Amino acid sequence: MPRFYFHVHDDLLVLDEEGVELADLEAARLQAVAGIHAMMCDQLTHGRLVLHHHLVVEDEQGVEVLNLAFGDTVAIER
């Protein structure tokens, strides 16, 4: 199974040096979105939500395969 690395770009850069073995890119995308949603929930508990923060997913060769802004993973309604 391929390994994917999830690097968080928020107020700091947090590099994933361990990675996670997942079936494919779609599984990596789903894992990334779930992680983003968890981080957004944590932000909200502190009264803040930063939609331009993003998460970069790299494959085993260090090639960027996904770049997801937090705001692009939710529907915002007013």
Q: Say if 36 falls within a structural domain.
A: yes
For the record, the structure tokens of 46 come out as 């502190």
Q: Say if 78 falls within a structural domain.
A: no
Q: Kindly report the pTM of this predicted structure.
A: 0.93
62-68 long-range Cβ contacts below 8 angstroms, 24+ apart: 65/4, 65/25, 65/28, 66/25, 66/28, 66/29, 66/32, 68/29, 68/32, 68/33, 68/36
Q: Say if 61 falls within a structural domain.
A: yes
Domain of residue 59: give its range: 3-73
pLDDT of 28 = 98
Q: Say if 8 falls within a structural domain.
A: yes
Q: Total structural domains in the chain? A: 1
Cα distance between residue 27 and residue 12, in whole Å: 25
Q: Say if 41 falls within a structural domain.
A: yes
* DSSP labels, 8-69: EESSSEE--SS-EE-SSHHHHHHHHHHHHHHHHHHHHHTT---TT-EEEEE-TTS-EEEEEE
Q: Say if 55 falls within a structural domain.
A: yes
Give the pLDDT confidence of 14-63 residue by residue, as tens digits. Answer: 999 999 999 999 999 999 999 999 999 999 999 999 999 999 999 999 99
Please report which confidence band the pLDDT of residue 4 belongs to, taking 50, 70 and 90 as the band edges.
very high
